[in-house]
Every structure is written in structure tokens, then in C-alpha cells.
Amino acid sequence: MKKIDKMTPEEVRALIRKGEWQKPTSGLAMGYAQANLVVLPKKYAFDFLLFCQRNPKPCPLLEVLEAGKYITETLAAGADITTDIPLYNVYKKGKLESTIQNIKDIWQDDFITFLLGCSYSFEEALLKVKVPVRHIEEKKNVSMYLTNIACMQAGTFKGPLVVSMRPIPENLVVKAVQITSRYAAVHGSPVHIGNPSEIGIEDIYKPDFGDVPTIRAKEVPVFWACGVTPQAAVMEVKPDICITHAPGHMFISDTLNEELASM
Amino acid sequence: MKKIDKMTPEEVRALIRKGEWQKPTSGLAMGYAQANLVVLPKKYAFDFLLFCQRNPKPCPLLEVLEAGKYITETLAAGADITTDIPLYNVYKKGKLESTIQNIKDIWQDDFITFLLGCSYSFEEALLKVKVPVRHIEEKKNVSMYLTNIACMQAGTFKGPLVVSMRPIPENLVVKAVQITSRYAAVHGSPVHIGNPSEIGIEDIYKPDFGDVPTIRAKEVPVFWACGVTPQAAVMEVKPDICITHAPGHMFISDTLNEELASM
């Protein structure tokens, strides 16, 4: 059999669908966009869609499926949202209830599926032009922080902007801004460069999520809007049920990262 | 009194609010973005919001107000949607019922307001770099056409992409693409350059809406997604009630066109 890291997105999804891959998707189907998953009952859907419209940097929508639909059309033709993600987190009233391999048995006709862009896409773009990405080098999780920047509220959805931080060599900061600006569909340009306290981060070595960063001499902390933002906003609302991908266990699309870049 | 074309957006809106300006807004508050208005009852709102999310080029959302809210926050601080537009069209079941000066008396608590970007913004950007815009020179309406390109359906909202056409001198076509690409929030880059039949337009001199164009030698027809697209999609759904601005009688915002440009 072909090694998994040489497989096409469709081949990887087929493996996942059969329950033969329940691990993180980082490094798989390189070049193709991976997406965050949020599934909510219809009664929450307008407000959440509006939250994403109002906060496009942390919540870059790539595809939304209508009530009850679980087959993708845009990001991939014919992928199945109920089976094609390695692991799902099921939350009830904002609390994690279970982590499961497929959601076929708990699927509801009023479920609306949101697929959101993730930072893997712009990280690949940074690496291509030789801007180093520390947490990838160190095989760690990116450092993430709550900020003092409030998202725009929509209905009951609200909360602080969560950011991820990558230490960038001083002489590559401009290039990092330029490259990621092209990827508005996957968080886009940084939201802040430099002084962490300016956005309410007291100690850069105490991230709220992810691993402690290594920041070297002549490196500047650069902050991007993070996909944890909408997840945190959803949990605050404590919906009856909400399903997301388990962290790192993303939806692998047929869409090239490069297709998501603005022209 | 100050001449109206020298007034700030706030001053123009105040005049409109008092019922002292019921004419088109073209040429007013130059430099500031004007917006298309669509007001729909909440039951249609999720599908229409999704239609806009799926078809961002013809439906570039600038601000959405939640049910019952009529004061803007993003595009202008404290503008009143029920009074600050010179003329409103009220449609019932897809048919124009009346054209009125304010909508205070017919406002409903379940109304959701959508404000969408309009081509005035990118036309100003074209003129600034000396790309001529024929229908402005000739004081006519831009030529608009139904195409054979289908919008992505959302719920019951569907329909063809409607485009506007501007004849551009051959040697300025590249510049026109570059400039308008920066304005994704107001229709953005063209959808087609050249041969009209390629997108289903049989006779360029028989527009479906607007005036007949003048195309000179060494000019190329360039087509942009048009704000008539969402209006046509809404009318097809025949909502109980829908309110739009009367053509050309737009909402004038406090947001500079330049603020809408991508970096």
C-alpha cells in the first residue's frame, strides 16, 4: 500500500472513513487545505454564521452545508462530514461528552456544518519562502493566547479574539506579513506584531493553549487570529449539542492552499 | 448652507433623514463607500446570509444588522436604516408595491438588514488611476446583463450571476484588473474579460438592465459581478415583504472606499 503521506486527499479520506486512521492530519496531503469543523443545530446557525461574517480573520468560512446535508461540494466533491474526519469531539451544553470516530449515529436532520480555514495553509506558504515556523521545527503545538481584543458579538456568540504566535526573525517579518496577507481565507495577515502586552498578553511564556514557545535573539513575536476563537465563542453559548474535529484531527479537502490565495 | 456635494456623509444623511434629499446619491460624499440595502424578515435571513457567503463577488456583505436593529455600527456609527436612505422600494411577494421616503411605519421587529458593497467604490479607484469609466463620462447607467453563470444556491435563493460591463481601453485592462482586485469587499476583480458570448451574453448592445453601452475601437468589454444579482435572487423567492433602496438611492457610509481595499 502507498504510504499515507504520499496519498491524495481522497485516498486519505477513504482510509479515515474505514476507521484506519485516527491520528492527527498534520503532514498529510501536503499542499491541500485542511479545515476546522463546527456542527451546530439550525437554531444556532444564523447567529454563528453572522459571528463568522463579522469576525472573518478568526473565523474564515470555507464552506457551509445546509441543514441535514453532510456531503461537501466546494472544498471537496463528495466528502462525507459524518465519517471523513479522524476523530470528533461531541459537546453537550458546552461540555466535552465524548471523542468518537464517526458521527453517523448521532447525526440530526437539523445539523448545519461549518468548515473553517486553518493556519496549516499559511504555514505551508511561509515555509515555501523560507520563513521558519518554530513549532513545526520543534514538532510542538503552536502557542495560543487569549487577548484583550473583543470579537464583534452576533446574537449570543461573543468572546475574546484568540491568537496564535510564531516567533519570526526580525529580517523576515515584512515577508511574513506579505505572504500571509495573500491568504485571507485562512486567517490572513497578522493581527499584531511585537509587544504582547499591547493585546493583553501578560507573559508570552505562559500561553493559554498549546506549548510554551522558544523565542530566540533577534526574533519578534508575530500574532495571527486563531481558529480556537470561534470554538471558544460556541462553548460559551453552551448549545444543546455541538460537534467539532478533535484538535489536530482536521478535515482534508481537495482544494489546494494556493487556490485559497488572493490574486 | 453648504452645497450637498461638499457635505460629510453624516451631513448628507441628516438631510436625507429630514426628507430634504430624495434623489440619487451618485457624486455625494465622494471617497466614502455607498451600500446597497436588502431588508428581509428573519425567516429568510439564514438562507440569504448563506447565499451571500457562497457568492461573495456579487454579494459582498459590508454589514448585517440583527433582527429588529436599524442603527448601523460598522459602516457608520449611529446611522438609521429606517430613515437615512433617500428612497426605498417595498416589495411584497416579489412585486414592487411602493416607493417611499422612510420605512419607520412599516418596520418590523423581525427585520434583518443587509448592507452590500457597490461598484461606486471601485469605479472611484479606477478613475483615480486614470482608467476611464464610460457610463460616468456619459452620465448614463452602467450596462448590466444576465449571464449563463449560475450562482451557488442557498436554501431557496438561486439565480444567474448578473454582471455590469465597462469598456476598457486595451492598454489599461491589466491595470483595471489590478486595481479592482484590491476591492474584494465591493465586487473585486472582474469575472470575465472579452468575448461576451463566453458568459452567455448574445448581444452586448442589448443589456438586460441599464443603458446601451458605447464601445470604442481598441476597447475591450470587461465584466464585473453586479449587485443586481442578490436582488434578482430575492425577488425569485417572493418573500412576504422585502425592502431595498430604490436604484441609485444608496446608503452613504462613514467608511472610506480606501478602508475597504485589501492591503
Tens-place pLDDT, residues A205-258: 999 999 999 999 999 999 999 999 999 999 999 999 999 999 999 999 999 999
> Does the pLDDT at position A10 exceed 70?
yes
Give the pLDDT of chain B (263 residues) as one tens digit per residue: 789 989 999 999 999 999 999 999 998 999 999 999 999 999 999 999 999 999 999 999 999 999 999 999 999 999 999 999 999 999 999 999 999 999 999 999 999 999 999 999 999 999 999 999 999 999 999 999 999 999 999 999 999 999 999 999 999 999 999 999 999 889 999 999 999 999 999 999 999 999 999 999 999 999 999 999 999 999 999 999 999 999 999 999 999 999 998 75
| The CATH number fitting domain B4-119+233-260, selected from 3.40.1640.10, 3.30.70.3270, 3.40.50.300, 3.40.50.2020 | 3.40.1640.10
> Within chain B, how many helices (H) and strands (E) appear?
6, 11
Q: What pLDDT score was predicted for residue A262?
A: 76
d(CA A29, CA A14): 13
Say how far apart CA B89 and CA B133 lie, in whole Å: 28
SS3 B59: coil
Domain boundary assignment for chain B: 4-119+233-260, 122-230
Q: What integer pLDDT is reported at residue A112 of this predicted model? A: 98
Q: What is the pLDDT of residue A219?
A: 98
The pTM score is 0.92
Q: Which of A49, A181, A263 sits opposite B46 (nearest CB)?
A: A49
Measuring CA to CA, which residue among A93, A37, A59, A84 is closest to residue A246?
A37
Q: With a cut of 90, say whether residue A23 has pLDDT above it.
A: yes
Size of interface A-B (CB pairs under 8 A): 41
Reduced to 3 states, what is the DSSP secondary structure of residue A201?
coil
Instruction: Please give the Cα distance from A100 to A122 (Å, whole number).
Output: 29
Domain spanning A4-16+34-118+237-257, CATH architecture: 3-Layer(aba) Sandwich (3.40)
What is the reported pLDDT for B227? 93
Model pLDDT, residue B194: 97
Cα B157 to Cα B11, B150, B235, B242: the distances in Å are 36, 11, 9, 14
> Which of B46, B51, B75, B114 should we substitute to test contact with A (largest number of A Cβ atoms within 10 Å)?
B46
Average pLDDT, chain B: 95
Contacts of A155 in chain B (CB under 8 A): 66
Residues 6 or more apart whose CB falls under 8 angstroms from that of B197 comprise: none
Span A97-121, pLDDT tens digits: 999 999 999 999 999 999 999 999 9
Name the 3-class secondary structure at B95: strand
Instruction: Determine whether domain B122-230 maps to CATH 3.30.2040.10.
Output: yes
Tell how strand A219-225 and strand B251-256 pair up. Answer: unpaired
- The residue behind cell 471617497 is B31
pLDDT at B5: 87
Residue A173 host element (H or E) = helix A173-181
Record: contact A262-B181, CB cut-off 8 A: yes
B184 touches chain A (CB under 8 A): yes
Q: Which has the closest alpha carbon to B56: B192, B188, B250?
A: B188
Q: Is residue A235 within a helix (H) or strand (E), and if so which, with residue range? A: helix A228-237
pLDDT band for A263, please (50, 70, 90 cuts).
Answer: low
Spatial CA neighbour of B193 closest among B157, B167, B230, B212: B167
Q: Is the ipTM of this complex over 0.85?
A: yes
Q: Which residue type sits at A27?
A: G
For residues A94 and A231, is the Cβ–Cβ distance under 8 A?
A: no
Write down the pLDDT at residue A5: 87
Residue with grid cell 486527499, as numbered in its chain: A9
Å from B46 to nearest chain A CA? Answer: 5
DSSP A37-105: EEEEEHHHHHHHHHHHHH-TTT--EEEEEPTT--B-SSSSTT-BTTTSSS-EEEEETTEEEEEES--TT
Contacting residues of A for B262, CB less than 8 Å apart: 181, 184, 262
Measured between CB atoms, which of B49, B50, B181 is closest to A263? B181
What CATH class is the domain A121-226? Answer: alpha beta
Smallest Cβ distance to A49: which of B50, B184, B189? B50
